[in-house]
Amino acid sequence: MTYEHSYAHSISEPVSFWQAQAEQLAWQRKPTVTLQQNADGTHRWFADGRLNSCYLALDHQIEQGRGEQLALIYDSPVTGVQQTFTYHQLRDEVARLAGLLRSLGVRKGDGVIIYMPMVPQAAMAMLACARIGAVHSVVFGGFAANELALRIEDARPTLLLTASCGLEFDRVIEYKPLVDRALQLARHQPRHVLVLQRPLVSAELQPGRDLDWQQALLGAAPVAPVELDAGDPLYIMYTSGTTGKPKGIVRENGGNAVALCYAMRHVYGMRAGDVWWGISDVGWVVGHSLIVYGPLMNGCTTVFYEGKPIRTPDASAYWRVVEQYQVNGLFCAPTAMRAIRKEDPEGALIRRHNLDSLRQLFLAGEKLDSSTHEWLERVTGKPVHDHWWQTETGWPVTAPCVGLEGSAARPGSSNRAVPGYNVQVLDDEGKPLGPNQQGAIVIALPLPPGCSQTLWGDHQRYLQAYLQSYPGYYHTGDGGYLDEDGFVYIMGRTDDVINVSGHRLSTGEMEDLVARHPAVAECAVIGVHDEIKGQVPLALVVLKDGQGIGEAQLQGELVADVREQIGALACFNRVRLVKRLPKTRSGKILRAVLRKIADGQDYTAPSTLDDPAVLGEIEGVLADLPRAG
């Protein structure tokens, strides 16, 4: 099947396209209705189908003869533990945990919060919920207590699962005091808190409410997967917003299973028996789609890594894992690769490892700057692919579909729309724009299976946030353009487009140029207020280790580069060196906060911020900027 053929089919006849994909799934009852459109623009996929996501991920794989194959490899350089689970072993663990959850009063449709580090029990907890039809909501471990409280309030869990601690490099983060504090803040209270005691820290348990995970499990009996409607929610995932109430993205069982089986095979080119490594955390959407459900539903072995790209113990950590487990494909965020490059610019550590098993690397989460892209291809000798998606979609919107014939990749682009996604670009009035014209990136409805169709407990907010800006389209919030061949270029959130003397310019494009400078490890370009021009760009730059270039010289060189490549109209003339950039815990640069600091406006440090101390550093560096008003 070629990419062109599949894509055309998926857009002209979505019903027959997705019906054929759904045929390949082991439903408990096959759907007879493929697509139902609702009056408000949302839709239901596979409405009368019945299935169980945990069954597809575990029991069905065993029935296919994969019981003794490794399902999950846990590698934890922070604790020194390496552990494997076959499909049989994982299924047995999950079935017993599901039995325990049920005995603690968790019923189909109930919310369950999982606030855990990257230990296999986190994946088991997700799958155990799926087995009995409970709706899990994984909250990234170590999120502050008030963030956890907000999610508890919204998801109203019957049960909260946690561990005594997580590890950040060699720093131990005790989770239980954070959970206790969150439960003091939240009005809603779960019936029980199940606590996994890790060897490093023994958490104090509150009698009656808190239970020791391992002890409680001793008396638990395994349970079978229940039958669920395709539209029943599998999980809620809160997006990493910077302010306000988090948005609870809801993922349905049916659409998710069909979409992930399609994506693993056709986008990522993975086959049953392959080893796949989704380098992320169960607290993010990637952890759901590409660490747990996607690889397991496709009979792959998933690598479950509790470590970092660097300092666990060094910048060779990823390559060690690839070689040790013969990883065939991986996903990671650009920020991780930039961290590795900063410490190992020549790839000396990479050359110590045999990467023969690896077929390609997929990167997403933010724009893959061309400098990092070229470097990564050069030092690994493997194809590196940028691809683009969102928590809301749950699986790639644009990507090279390496599992389809005729799939092409174009560096600099996040590649063409994946079958199922009708990606277009609109101007402010909602009129379609032609090739190479920059505007709002949207997806014509219907969205393919797997994409969220509502927010937990707030359908109106979903309609308002995603469907009302451009009737007939899903609004991604990203800006960019398509070239004449349909390759998509994401230039960042539409808020990251700046207006310099009436010219709309992309800070993403400038970042790409700045990142090409040999001394630059990473950078952020933001628009700051200017009395005359409205906004002007400002670049904040982190240097590679061992670079001695001064700020003035770097500024001179970068100004010349931007002038030559983008033009003097960009008014790019300010560069500041910083030690590090403020990022969310998932590695996205917090440009909105940088803008506020640069403009001297009040701001609240977002609770998603990785390390609040960085804001003080940035304030110091930018203290002398001319202020608005």
In the complex, the residues that contact ligand AMP under the rule CB under 6 A are 239-240, 285, 364-368, 386-388, 390-391, 414, 476-478, 490, 493
Quick one: 222 or 383, whose CB is closer to ligand AMP? 383
Instruction: At 393, list the tokens.
Output: 């979609």
Which helix H or strand E contains 183, and what residues bound it?
A: helix 176-185
Q: Minimum distance from CB of 115 to ligand AMP (Å)?
A: 18
Minimum distance of ligand AMP from residue 591's CB (angstroms): 11
List the 81-86 sheet strands across, edge first. 81-86, 70-76, 301-305, 275-278, 329-332, 360-363, 384-386
Our CB check for ligand AMP shows the closer of 19 and 608 to be 608
Considering beta carbons, is residue 301 or 452 the nearer one to ligand AMP?
452
Neighbours of 494 (CB within 10 A): 16
Nearer to ligand AMP, 101 or 515 (CB): 515
Which of residues 494 and 573 has its CB atom nearest to ligand AMP in the complex? 494
Measure the CA–CA gap between 504 and 250, rounded to whole angstroms: 35
For residue 284, the minimal CB distance to ligand AMP (Å) is 7
CA 44 – CA 57 distance, rounded (Å):
23
User: How far is residue 65's CA from residue 63's CA, in Å, rounded to a whole number?
Assistant: 5
**Least Å from the CB of residue 558 to ligand AMP:** 21
CB 520 within 8 A of CB 542: yes
Residue 228 vs residues 91, 95, 362: alpha-carbon distances, Å: 18, 16, 32
Q: How far is the CB of 366 from ligand AMP (least distance, A)?
A: 5
Minimal distance, residue 331 CB to ligand AMP, in Å: 11
CB of 487 to ligand AMP, least distance (A): 12
Min. distance of Cβ 388 from ligand AMP in angstroms?
4
Which of residues 66 and 595 has its CB atom nearest to ligand AMP in the complex? 595
Residue closer to ligand AMP (CB basis): 367 or 595: 367
What is the number of residues in the chain?
629
CA angle 223, 224, 226 (to 5 degrees): 115
Write phi, then psi, for 437 (nearest 5 degrees): -100, 130
Is 522:544 a contact under the CB 8 Å cutoff?
no
If DSSP states are collapsed to H, E and C, what string results for 227-242? CEECCCEEEEEECCCC
Cβ partners under 8 Å of residue 137, min gap 6: 111, 112, 113, 114, 151, 155, 157, 235, 236, 237, 238, 248
Q: How far is the CB of 352 from ligand AMP (least distance, A)?
A: 29
Phi first, then psi, for residue 160 (nearest 5°) are: -125, 130
388 or 456, CB closer to ligand AMP?
Answer: 388
Distance CA(258)–CA(294), nearest Å, equals: 10
Phi/psi for 517 (5° steps) reads -65, 135
Shortest distance, CB of residue 481 to ligand AMP, whole angstroms?
13
Beta bridge partners of 575: 539
Residue 623: CB minimum distance to ligand AMP, A: 30
Q: How far apart are the first and last CA of the chain?
A: 60
Q: Which residue has the tokens 């500041």?
A: 576
- Smallest distance from the beta carbon of 407 to ligand AMP, in angstroms? 16
Residue nearest to ligand AMP (CB): 391
Both tokens assigned to 407: 């799939």
Q: Beta strands 415-416 and 70-76: pairing type?
A: unpaired
The least CB distance from residue 66 to ligand AMP, in Å, is 30
Nearer to ligand AMP, 166 or 400 (CB): 400
Burial category of 48 from C-beta neighbours within 10 Å (exposed 0-12, middle 13-18, buried 19 and up): middle
**Bond into 446 cis (ω within 30):** yes
**Would strands 534-543 and 520-530 be described as parallel, antiparallel, or unpaired?**
antiparallel
Run of H or E including 180: helix 176-185
Choose between 117 and 365: whose C-beta lies nearer to ligand AMP: 365
Q: Choose between 386 and 522: whose C-beta lies nearer to ligand AMP.
A: 386
Q: Name the residue among 161, 224, 231 with its Cα closest to residue 196.
A: 161
Closer residue to ligand AMP in complex, CB, 195/409: 409
Beta bridge partners of 473: 444
Q: At what angle do helices 507-515 and 551-565 cross, to 10 degrees?
A: 120
Which residue number, 21 or 586, has a Cβ lying nearer to ligand AMP?
A: 586
C-beta of 592: minimal distance to ligand AMP in Å?
A: 12
Nearer to ligand AMP, 285 or 321 (CB): 285
Q: How far is the CB of 32 from ligand AMP (least distance, A)?
A: 33
Amino acid at 43: H
**Residue located via tokens 């575990």:** 58
Minimum CB distance to ligand AMP smaller for 385 or for 517: 385
**Rounded distance, CA 128 to CA 362, Å?**
29
